[in-house]
């Protein structure tokens, strides 16, 4: 019944067998997170079911079963047992609920909420109105979202010139592909970061648990094992760094672009950012230096989240795409943004291969333009408070 990897890792021998034989392993879950690799990086096929059916599949030990005709196991005498033989009736369920779920249960539980956990109560907490950041914490780190920020709202747009393509995607790249989610794979950039700080693999935990550390989350962005980046020859969290042409983890390539002072962008197909709304699907690319996304279309909330982090969402004109324009991802891109943005304006984009095309800005409202001009909604709100 858990999601986002909180059910823990698979046994090592199971992981080894899956990887050695390139198996499509499956999971059955009652949460709403059946994306690839979410329950575990090693499970590609994940199916939604009711909680009782999750138990039934667990008893059967396989998803390759027809409950109508196949037994889920045998009894003590070796006789086959069908699911219908053990499935409780509505009356049986109601009887148990009536016996167990009582007002006294809730009264007892909530009567000592503030005193029940003595280990929590005995923790020493710093005093004061400001949080005491510590650089050595691998759970909570001071994020750089306000680094270098001025008190005044910028009056001109920061230019995007000769930007590199960090990733070249097709259709239906979801926020689960983009955002750090699930267990932290032991071979990932985030795992290497934690290991270098003395964290044992058994304590890596999940990205959800470490979402307060931007250094972990930036390394977990685009880290999905089933991510299809057209710059690489197989699925995974890798890309091709230019101009070297070397394949490497996406975070490493992004870090090289940042170090070289080069902006980066994403090229994508239809419904970019589909799936559940995830703030780190926008925060992560921001930390990786992504300045703009050019897609054929967007999931509406992810589009809003991108501009909320100061990442410019642009949309190809109808009938155009990275493929129809002949882009391989090796090109650099420059944007004619002018001095200030307006709602839905047309942006001229020039690629280094000589192709020039028009893209529509998906800053759809005046407030969204204000957020973007401020470098994102976080800076917009802080400036409002300061001024």
Q: Where do the structural domains in the chain lie, given as residue ranges? A: 12-110, 163-179+221-386
3-state secondary structure of 163: strand
Q: Mean pLDDT in the chain? A: 92
pLDDT computed for residue 35 by the predictor:
72
3-state secondary structure of 383: helix
pLDDT computed for residue 116 by the predictor:
86
Asked whether the predicted pLDDT for residue 287 surpasses 70, the reply is yes
Q: pLDDT category, 30, cuts 50, 70, 90?
A: confident
pLDDT computed for residue 63 by the predictor:
94
Asked whether the predicted pLDDT for residue 209 surpasses 60, the reply is yes
Q: pLDDT category, 4, cuts 50, 70, 90?
A: low
Write out the two tokens for 42.
């090693």
Is residue 291 within 8 A of residue 312, CB to CB? The reply is: yes
Determine the average pLDDT of the residues in 319-325: 97
Beta carbons within 8 Å of 256's beta carbon, 6+ residues apart: 241
Q: pLDDT category, 1, cuts 50, 70, 90?
A: very low
Least confident range of 220-234, 302-316, 322-336? 220-234
**The CATH number of domain 12-110, selected from 3.40.50.2000, 3.30.499.10, 3.40.30.10, 1.10.1060.10:** 3.30.499.10
**How far, in Å, CA of 293 to CA of 367, rounded?**
20
Q: pLDDT category, 184, cuts 50, 70, 90?
A: confident
User: Would 12-110 and 163-179+221-386 be classified into the same CATH topology?
Assistant: no
CATH class of 163-179+221-386: alpha beta
pLDDT computed for residue 91 by the predictor:
96
Question: Tokens 């059916």 label which residue?
Answer: 53
User: Residues 304, 149, 334, 162: is their CA dihedral positive or negative?
Assistant: negative
User: Residues 318, 324, 326, 327: is their CA dihedral positive or negative?
Assistant: positive
Question: What is the CB neighbour count within 10 angstroms for residue 93?
Answer: 11
Least confident range of 27-31, 75-79, 199-203, 357-361? 27-31
Give the pLDDT confidence of 306-320 residue by residue, as tens digits: 999 999 999 999 999
């Amino acid at each position: 019944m858990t999601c986002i990897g909180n059910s823990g890792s698979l046994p090592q021998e199971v992981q080894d067998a899956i990887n050695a034989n390139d198996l499509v392993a499956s999971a059955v879950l009652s949460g709403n997170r059946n994306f690839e690799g979410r329950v575990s990086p090693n499970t590609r096929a994940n199916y939604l079911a009711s909680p009782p059916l999750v138990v039934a599949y667990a008893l059967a030990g396989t998803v390759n079963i027809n409950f109508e005709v196949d037994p889920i196991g045998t009894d003590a005498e070796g006789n086959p047992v069908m699911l219908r033989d053990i499935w409780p009736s509505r009356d049986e369920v109601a009887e148990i609920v009536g016996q167990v779920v009582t007002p006294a249960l809730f009264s007892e539980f909530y009567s000592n909420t503030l005193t029940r956990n003595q280990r929590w109560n005995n923790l020493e907490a710093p005093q004061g109105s400001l949080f005491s950041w510590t650089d050595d914490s691998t759970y909570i780190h001071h994020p750089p979202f306000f680094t270098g920020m001025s008190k005044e709202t910028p009056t001109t747009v920061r230019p995007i010139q000769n930007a590199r393509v960090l990733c070249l995607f097709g259709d239906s790249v979801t926020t689960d592909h983009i955002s750090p989610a699930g267990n932290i794979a032991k071979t990932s950039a985030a795992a290497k970061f934690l290991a270098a700080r003395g964290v044992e693999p058994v304590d890596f935990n999940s990205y959800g648990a470490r979402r307060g550390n931007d250094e972990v989350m930036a390394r977990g962005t685009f880290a999905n094992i089933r991510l299809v980046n057209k710059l690489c020859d197989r699925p995974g969290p890798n890309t091709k760094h230019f101009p070297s042409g070397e394949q490497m983890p996406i975070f490493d390539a992004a870090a090289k672009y940042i170090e070289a002072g080069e902006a980066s962008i994403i090229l994508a197909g239809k419904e970019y950012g589909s799936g559940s709304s995830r703030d780190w699907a926008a925060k992560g690319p921001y930390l990786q230096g992504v300045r703009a996304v050019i897609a054929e279309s967007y999931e509406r909330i992810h589009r809003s989240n991108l501009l909320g982090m100061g990442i410019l969402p642009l949309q190809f004109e109808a009938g155009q795409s990275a493929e129809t324009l002949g882009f391989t991802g090796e090109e650099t891109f420059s944007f004619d943004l002018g001095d200030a943005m307006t709602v839905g304006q047309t942006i001229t984009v020039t690629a280094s291969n000589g192709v020039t095309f028009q893209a529509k800005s998906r800053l759809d409202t005046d407030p969204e333009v204000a957020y973007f001009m401020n470098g994102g909604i976080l800076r917009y709100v802080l400036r409002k408070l300061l001024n």
